[in-house]
């Protein structure tokens, strides 16, 4: 599906939303923020895998394995690190420019750990 194999690049929040939209998408929005940030607010249908765990050698959640990874954090800094790390491990990975701050500013939904309206910490 993508030309990003074994490399990484940046995509806008609009591109990220389109790429990961729908249950049949080959891509998954991978949120690499820490647990407290995730609990406060994340994109619906995102998968959580904190950067600290990935750096420590942790594996991706099963729902993210073998799929294109559209990596997001709060502002875009950690997602760049994560996308590069994951690409070096052979994953199809892109990172979202502006992160969850840009996601929320664009009007895309943010939910908390209970599925209620969330906020970006």
Tens of pLDDT, residue by residue over 96-105, are 999 999 999 9
pLDDT at 28 over 80: yes
- pLDDT reading at 1 higher than 70: no
| pTM beyond 0.75, yes or no | yes
pLDDT of residue 8: 59
Taking each continuous run of H as one helix and of E as one strand, the counts in the chain are: 5, 5
Tell me the pLDDT band of 33, cut-offs 50, 70 and 90.
very high
Residue 2 pLDDT > 50 = no
- Which pLDDT belongs to residue 13? 97
47-69: average pLDDT: 96
pLDDT of 7 > 70? The answer is no
101: buried, middle or exposed (CB in 10 Å: 19+, 13-18, 0-12)? middle
Provide φ and ψ at 42, rounded to 5°: -150, 170
Average pLDDT value for the chain: 92
Q: Rounded to a whole number, what is the distance in angstroms from the first to the last CA of the chain?
A: 33
**pLDDT tens-digit readout, 106-117:** 999 999 999 999
Radius of gyration for the chain, computed over Cα atoms and rounded to the nearest angstrom:
13
């Amino acid at each position: 599906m993508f030309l990003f194999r074994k490399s990484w690049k940046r995509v806008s929040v609009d591109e990220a939303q389109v790429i990961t939209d729908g249950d049949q998408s080959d891509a998954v929005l991978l949120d690499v923020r820490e647990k407290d940030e995730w609990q406060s607010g994340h994109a619906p249908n995102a998968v959580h895998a904190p950067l600290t765990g990935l750096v420590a050698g942790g594996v991706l959640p099963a729902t993210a394995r073998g799929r294109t990874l559209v990596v997001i954090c709060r502002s875009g800094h950690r997602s760049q690190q994560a996308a590069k790390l994951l690409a070096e491990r052979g994953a199809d990975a892109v990172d979202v420019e502006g992160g969850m701050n840009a996601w929320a500013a664009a009007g895309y939904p943010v939910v908390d750990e209970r599925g209620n309206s969330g906020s970006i910490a």
